[in-house]
Structure 1
Amino acid sequence: MQPSVITHLRCPVCHGPFTAAERALRCPQGHSFDIARQGYVDLTAGRPAHTGDTAEMVAARAALLSAGHFAALTEAVTEAVAREEPGLIVEVGAGTAHYLAAALTNESVGLAVDTSKPALKRAARASERIGAVRADIWQGLPIADHAAAVILDVFAPRSGAEFARVLRPGGALIVATPAAAHLAELVDALGLIRVDPAKQERLHKSLDPHFVPSNARTIRAPLSLSRADALALVAMGPSAWHTDPAAIKEALAKLPTPIATHLDVDLTTWRSR
């Protein structure tokens, strides 16, 4: 793991700084955390509330993103990050670190945070400038106060208090959330989980005590999917936990190809109060 990333990490037990040892991170109090062979380090301070995406979900996400179907969102996130001062970019719920890797510049380093070990194995390889850490945002991020120039949250859980602690003065919290019509055609055809009508209300409830929105836009882009693409899209998201793969395949077989749907995503930049 790159030293410039380790500098910003803190021990989840005593909150002391780390130094790199042989295949491990150690704090002054003697707490030691092994760096996995795949390159990530587990800094959970206990059992995470959720173990995150499965290997199958991560593989589906990697396939869909690498095919460029979410390119419009990737470009929008990259543009939003480019407007900020360089430094540490933290992506929470990073998955494969696709968005983080795209947004990095030569002046920045990245930290991918997730609870999914299969995701972190990929995130650690996404860029030599990215460190990957297993941590649960609800238990607290193992990151120094005011260390991050940018925090990315793309379809991921949000803790306003913890984001406010980690973000440096003048930094940016960039949040992507699905809008009402996100993938609507596919949702209707396959009976997938719909976007919560109260999603924006919940977003503001979690962030308003600590942040104010400074910039907002909606990314809308058409998608033209093969049946394999559509199956991957279902398998990578929350519907994967609540649908029968065999029934989804049967429903997809009845749809004409290419399958037309569209992205509808709200992207908002927030500043500390």
Structure 2
Amino acid sequence: MDPRILHRLRCPVCAEPLEQASDTKALRCPRRHSFDIARQGYVNLLTGRAPHVGDTPEMVAARADFQAAGHYDVISAALAAAAAEAAGRLRAMPTLDFGAYPLVVDAGAGTGRYLGAVLAALPDAVGLALDVSKPALRRAARAHPRAAAALADTWQRLPLADASTAVLLNVFAPRNGPEFHRVLDPAGTLLVVTPTADHLAELVDALDLLRVDPDKADRVTASLGGHFTPVSAAVHRAKLALTRPEVATVVGMGPSAWHTDPDALATRLAALPEPVRVTVAVRLDVLRPR
């Protein structure tokens, strides 16, 4: 593992620093707690059993295909721009101890697509993808040459040192306010992406999908209010023209995949005229630690 990332990691059992074992197949702390590095490149930093296994291989494959087609590039671009602004602010503060490589962490990283886009915009940064889904991490470990990946439950204590992170990404993923606050530098930035009420709205009625709570974004920022101060919020939209197979992909990669009957979905999909017009609409909140 890249030593620039490794020295920010902490043992999830005792919070001691981690070092790479001589055989390079595990990370170990001074108390001899050991964590295997999978052959796909990610390190397993879970302790005990996770309460859930995250996205399935089918969901991850669907998300990777949809993202690779560029349909969510509006999200990647918004995150990259916001992260670049945050990094520029940090560079203007010479008292910070990031050296030449600030750390970007994506909590609930999925395939690592958004982390890769941010690192492409920050040539002096390194990145860490955290997720509880092994299929997702197999892809996230290859998302960018300056990124690493770790299996971790973001509801628990994050395997990172205090104030070790310059920018923390949270895209359509659970939010652990106290831990986000702990690992972010006091001058760091939290970037949270949530769907707005009209995100994929054209598909909700047509395919009987889960609806987005219209107050979701406000509830998210309110839940972080005890630890973070809102800096800005902006809605980013794009219009897509999708084929029916692409619509099936977008359904299969999200939460509706857990609740949709495949046969009923196929029937509804067949009735949609092509191309299927779909709105991407997300809110990006920029927050800083209190």
**Which of the five TM-score ranges fits, normalised by the shorter chain?**
over 0.9
Task: Please report how far the alpha carbon of residue 47 of structure 1 lies from its aligned counterpart in structure 2 after TM superposition.
Answer: 1.5
* Secondary structure in structure 2 of the residue aligned to 1:256: coil
Task: Please report how far the alpha carbon of residue 18 of structure 1 lies from its aligned counterpart in structure 2 after TM superposition.
Answer: 0.6
TM-score of the superposed pair, with normalisation by structure 1: 0.98
* Secondary structure in structure 1 of the residue aligned to 2:31: coil
What is aligned with 1:103? 118
Q: Which 5+ residue runs of structure 1 have no aligned equivalent?
A: none
Is residue 173 of structure 2 the alignment partner of residue 171 of structure 1?
no
What is aligned with 1:40? 42
Task: Please report how far the alpha carbon of residue 178 of structure 1 lies from its aligned counterpart in structure 2 after TM superposition.
Answer: 0.4
Is residue 281 of structure 2 the alignment partner of residue 264 of structure 1?
yes
* Secondary structure in structure 1 of the residue aligned to 2:226: coil
What is aligned with 1:54? 56
* Secondary structure in structure 2 of the residue aligned to 1:192: coil
Deviations 1:110-156 (A, max 9, x none): 00000000000000011121110011111211011010000000100
User: For 2:78 and 2:217, how far apart are their aligned partners in 1?
Assistant: 19
What is aligned with 2:7? 7
- Kindly report which structure 2 residues correspond to 1:108-257, keeping only aligned pairs within 5 A, or say none: 108-257=125-274
Task: Please report how far the alpha carbon of residue 75 of structure 1 lies from its aligned counterpart in structure 2 after TM superposition.
Answer: 0.6
User: For 1:271 and 1:121, how far apart are their aligned partners in 2?
Assistant: 31
User: For 1:138 and 1:73, how far apart are their aligned partners in 2?
Assistant: 24
User: For 1:181 and 1:16, how far apart are their aligned partners in 2?
Assistant: 45
Deviations 1:172-217 (A, max 9, x none): 0000000011110011110100002331343133200000110111
Q: Which 5+ residue runs of structure 2 have no aligned equivalent?
A: 88-100
Letter in 2 for 1:263: V
User: For 1:197 and 1:4, how far apart are their aligned partners in 2?
Assistant: 41
Task: Please report how far the alpha carbon of residue 247 of structure 1 lies from its aligned counterpart in structure 2 after TM superposition.
Answer: 1.6
Letter in 1 for 2:145: E
* Secondary structure in structure 1 of the residue aligned to 2:63: helix
Task: Please report how far the alpha carbon of residue 248 of structure 1 lies from its aligned counterpart in structure 2 after TM superposition.
Answer: 1.1
Contact 1:96 1:119 in 2 (8 A): yes
Aligned length: 273
What is aligned with 1:74? 76
Contact 1:172 1:269 in 2 (8 A): yes
User: For 1:49 and 1:81, how far apart are their aligned partners in 2?
Assistant: 31
**Overall identity of the aligned pairs, in %:** 55
RMSD: 1.0
- Structure 1 residues 106 and 204 mapped into 2: Cα distance closer, same or farther (>3 Å)? closer
Task: Please report how far the alpha carbon of residue 99 of structure 1 lies from its aligned counterpart in structure 2 after TM superposition.
Answer: 0.3
* Secondary structure in structure 1 of the residue aligned to 2:161: coil
Contact 1:159 1:206 in 2 (8 A): no
